[in-house]
């Protein structure tokens, strides 16, 4: 019972972090048709920027500064890169972000070296939050959940309750009409791309010290968020939410179980599970969980 409760809480906090990543990816994909391969790289940049800022002025300023920086980089990338390749089609855009992911990883090697950096949980948030039966639940996990939920609620409010949110929603389905009504759709694209990058950056700030900040972190989390987007259904935010929680819980439970099957424990098989889920889903429900399009 205790095990179940603690693992569920851990799974949900990891799942929420994954959703912060996959929501930006999904929004950008459904708005611009661009699958941003460099999305996980923005997550990594967020973690490294936060590390750099927190060593000089502290964690709390980093929580605000790092996502803004990453968002600004995202906007620059959209304005000076993606918009140029847009005329060559979606494959060229995908390849551009793929090359960008290479470049960002190498730039991180260049500036911060090849081994992990010491990006620690701030002392204010270090320690137990509450005790379930005998095990203590860390404050930082609770803080992660709080930030993610606050972020989700504010995205939802922006998308449904503000003017710019309505323009974004309209541009999702009818970009020409929105443009005809006098809105600058390319600028909306730039804002959304930057916003998605900033979300990934924020996830990096709070995920970087909960896990490890190293140059391989983008390559480790990137495929997982793509799996989430496919499993949830391409372009569906609700689907991405369900799939994030599902995969978050699945991963956390799998690594801590030691039931074995044919000589392999579930913990050993954990890295394969998300991909296996994706393959099975594609065979039996090609649209994904909440997807609407089949193609």
Partner 1 sequence: MTYQPLNLGRWILWGTTALVFIAAPQVFSSSFALTMMTQMGTMIIFALSYNMLLGQGGMLSFGHAVYSGLGAYITVHALNLVGKGALSIALPLLPLIGGLAGLAFGVLFGYVTTRRAGTTFALISLGVGEMVFACVLMFPGFFGGEAGVSTNRVVGQPFLGISFGPAIQVYYLVAAWCLACMAAMFALTQTPLGRMANAVRDNPERAEFVGYNTQHVRFLQLVLSSFFAGVSGALSCVNFEIVSSENVSAIRSGGVLLATFIGGVPFFFGPIVGAVVYIFFVVALSGFTKAWLLYLGLFFLMMVLYAPGGIASLILMQLPVIRARRFGELAWPYCLAAVAALVAMCGLIGIVEMVYRLSDVSGGTQMNLAGLGFDARSAPPWIAFGALLGAGLAALRYTTRLVDACWDAIQTDLLAKQP
Interface residues toward partner 1, by CB under 8 A: 33, 35, 81, 84-85, 88, 90-92, 94-96, 98-100, 102-103, 106-107, 109-113, 219, 223, 226-227, 229-230, 234, 264, 268-269, 271-272, 275-276, 278-279, 282-283, 286, 295
CA distances to 78, 208, 231 from 10, in Å: 35, 16, 21
Nearer to partner 1, 90 or 187 (CB): 90
**Residue 81 DSSP symbol:** I
Number of Cα atoms under 13 Å in the Cβ half of residue 34: 29
Least separation in angstroms between CB 275 and partner 1: 4
| Closer by beta carbon to partner 1, 116 or else 158 | 116
Contact indicator for 67, 199 with CB cutoff of 8 Å: yes
For partner 1, the closer CB: 227 or 240 = 227
Q: How far is the CB of 124 from partner 1 (least distance, A)?
A: 31
**In degrees, to the nearest 5, what angle opens at C-alpha 289 toward C-alphas 283 and 295?**
60
* Closest CB to partner 1 among residues 64, 272: 272
Question: 3-state class of 121 per DSSP?
Answer: coil
What are the residues whose beta carbons fall under 8 Å from the beta carbon of 36, sequence distance 6 or more? 25, 28, 29, 97, 193, 196
Report the residue number, 60 or 88, with the smaller CB distance to partner 1.
88
Closest CB to partner 1 among residues 150, 279 = 279
Length of the chain (residues): 295
Q: Choose between 114 and 174: whose C-beta lies nearer to partner 1.
A: 114
- Closest distance of CB 243 from partner 1, Å: 13
Least distance to partner 1, CB of residue 42, Å? 16
In whole angstroms, the minimum distance from the beta carbon of 236 to partner 1 comes to 13
Contact assessment for residue 230 and residue 278, using Cβ atoms and an 8 Å cutoff: yes
At 98, list the tokens.
């793929």
Enclosing H/E stretch for 126: none
* Residue labelled with tokens 């991180």: 108
Q: How far is the CB of 76 from partner 1 (least distance, A)?
A: 14
Among 220, 241, 210, 251, smallest CA distance to 119 is for 210
CA gap 143, 147 in Å, rounded: 6
Tell me the closest approach of the beta carbon of residue 77 to partner 1, in angstroms: 11
């Amino acid at each position: 019972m205790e095990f179940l409760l603690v693992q569920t809480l851990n799974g949900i906090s990891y799942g929420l972090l994954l959703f912060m990543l996959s929501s930006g990816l999904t929004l950008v994909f459904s708005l611009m048709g661009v699958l941003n391969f460099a999305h996980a790289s923005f997550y990594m940049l967020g973690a490294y920027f936060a590390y750099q800022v927190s060593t000089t002025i502290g964690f709390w300023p980093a929580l605000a500064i790092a996502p803004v920086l990453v968002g600004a980089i995202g906007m620059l990338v959209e304005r000076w890169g993606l918009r140029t390749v847009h005329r060559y089609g979606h494959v060229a855009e995908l390849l551009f972000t793929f090359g960008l992911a290479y470049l960002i990883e190498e730039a991180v090697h260049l500036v911060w070296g090849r081994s992990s950096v010491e990006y620690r949980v701030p002392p204010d948030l270090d320690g137990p939050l509450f005790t379930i039966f005998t095990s203590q639940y860390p404050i930082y996990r609770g803080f992660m959940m709080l930030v993610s939920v606050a972020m989700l609620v504010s995205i939802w409010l922006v998308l449904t309750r503000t003017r710019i949110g309505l323009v974004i929603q309209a541009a999702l389905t009818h970009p020409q009409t929105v443009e005809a009504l006098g809105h600058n759709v390319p600028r909306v694209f730039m804002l959304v791309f930057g916003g998605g990058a900033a979300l990934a950056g924020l996830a990096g700030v709070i995920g970087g010290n909960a896990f490890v900040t190293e140059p391989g972190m983008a390559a480790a989390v990137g495929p997982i968020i793509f799996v989430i987007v496919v499993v949830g259904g391409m372009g569906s935010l609700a689907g991405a939410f369900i799939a994030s929680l599902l995969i978050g819980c699945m991963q956390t439970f799998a690594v801590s179980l030691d039931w074995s099957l044919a000589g392999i424990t579930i913990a050993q098989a954990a890295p394969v599970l998300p991909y296996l889920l994706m393959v099975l889903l594609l065979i039996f429900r090609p649209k994904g969980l909440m997807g609407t399009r089949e193609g």
